[in-house]
């Protein structure tokens, strides 16, 4: 199972992080252009404990990409109807079409994690999922989907510090839920469930990659670098775009002359 080397160096400053992120954003845009030209489909599954940094790295990947091409999938708990479907059914509906990217902020692996630990599914359903998920992912890969699965590792002390920060910050408090609070009490149970999940679903056709996220900024850079390095050669010619001369002068003023803008703050 691939894993990033634990980096105990001083955490990256924001300035250093942004400096390193810029060239990765350029590469991500080149990759997105390649996906469109070649009609490829990319799925990135991001999993990890609560407060590991899943949302942050997904935002780092997607923030400069076309939102019509790159979608973040973060499904709420299933409805009554969805609970009666084949388990993978609602996730299949979120898979990308040709030229698209789907970033899963949690995924079908909810069944092996939170649903198992919190008792939202039966032991039989967990076993069935662990038996079926390699075959499900084999079908995706065999159909040409580029599938990447990342588990974000974070120490318990670091996770607890992030919980405290969320509780203290009114702009982050929405990230805490009753399930998160209960998860603190079941930390060991989550570890056991994670290990079972990784053992059952780490396959050659769909391997897991572990990324150290004790330093979230460094972890984001590491994950994006790994993703870019493990795609095929994404070099395709840049689109040749030219602006033709304007046929006439803009006429906006005549339509807005009678409108008053709101005062600035």
Residues 100, 42 contacting (CB under 8 angstroms): yes
pLDDT tens profile 105-125: 999 999 999 999 999 999 999
Greater model confidence, 257 or 137: 137
- Triad 248, 250, 254: Cα angle to 5°: 125
- Predicted confidence band of residue 6 (pLDDT cuts 50, 70, 90): very low
3-class DSSP assignment, residue 48: strand
User: Residue 108's pLDDT is what?
Assistant: 98
- Predicted confidence band of residue 19 (pLDDT cuts 50, 70, 90): very high
1-15, 113-127, 167-181, range with greatest mean pLDDT? 113-127
pLDDT tens profile 229-253: 999 988 888 777 888 887 776 666 6
Domain ranges of the chain: 12-256
Q: How far is CA 115 from CA 118, 184, 193, 211, in A?
A: 5, 15, 10, 23
Mean of pLDDT values over 46-75: 97
3-class DSSP assignment, residue 151: strand
User: Residue 9's pLDDT is what?
Assistant: 63
How many other CB atoms are there within 10 angstroms of residue 92's CB atom?
A: 13
CA distance 30 to 238: 8
Mean of pLDDT values over 196-217: 98
User: Residue 7's pLDDT is what?
Assistant: 45
Q: Please name every residue paired with 260 in a beta bridge, in sequence order, or none if there are none.
A: none
CATH superfamily of 12-256: P-loop containing nucleotide triphosphate hydrolases (3.40.50.300)
Alpha-helix residue ranges (DSSP H) falling in 63-186: 80-83, 89-92, 114-117, 123-142, 156-168, 178-185
Helix (H) or strand (E) run with residue 228 in it: helix 216-229
User: Residue 251's pLDDT is what?
Assistant: 61
Residues 134, 203 contacting (CB under 8 angstroms): yes
Greater model confidence, 5 or 30: 30
Mean of pLDDT values over 64-78: 97
Residues 114, 49 contacting (CB under 8 angstroms): no
Nearest to 189 by CA among 129, 118, 253, 256: 118
- Predicted confidence band of residue 203 (pLDDT cuts 50, 70, 90): very high
């Amino acid at each position: 199972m691939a894993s990033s080397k634990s980096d105990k160096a001083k955490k990256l400053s924001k300035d250093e992080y942004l400096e390193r992120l810029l060239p990765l954003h350029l590469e991500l845009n080149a990759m997105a252009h390649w996906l469109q030209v070649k009609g490829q489909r990319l799925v990135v599954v991001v999993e990890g404990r609560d407060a590991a940094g899943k949302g942050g790295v997904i935002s780092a990947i997607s923030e400069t990409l076309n939102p019509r091409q790159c979608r973040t999938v973060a499904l709420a708990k299933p409805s009554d109807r969805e609970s009666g479907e084949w388990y993978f059914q609602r996730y299949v509906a979120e898979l990308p079409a040709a030229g698209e990217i789907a970033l899963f902020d949690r995924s079908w692996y909810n069944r092996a994690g939170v649903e198992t630990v919190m008792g939202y599914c039966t032991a039989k359903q967990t076993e069935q999922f662990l038996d079926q998920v390699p075959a499900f992912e084999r079908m995706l890969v065999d159909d040409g989907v580029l599938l990447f699965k990342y588990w974000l590792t974070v120490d318990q002390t670091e996770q607890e510090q992030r919980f405290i920060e969320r509780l203290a910050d009114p702009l982050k408090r929405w990230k805490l839920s009753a399930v998160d609070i209960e998860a603190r009490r079941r930390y060991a149970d989550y570890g056991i469930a994670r290990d079972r999940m990784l053992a059952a679903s780490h396959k050659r056709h769909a391997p897991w990659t572990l990324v150290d996220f004790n330093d979230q900024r460094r972890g984001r850079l590491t994950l994006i670098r790994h993703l870019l390095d493990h795609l095929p050669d994404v070099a395709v010619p840049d689109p040749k775009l030219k602006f033709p001369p304007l046929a006439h002068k803009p006429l906006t003023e005549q339509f807005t002359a009678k409108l008053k803008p709101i005062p600035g703050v």
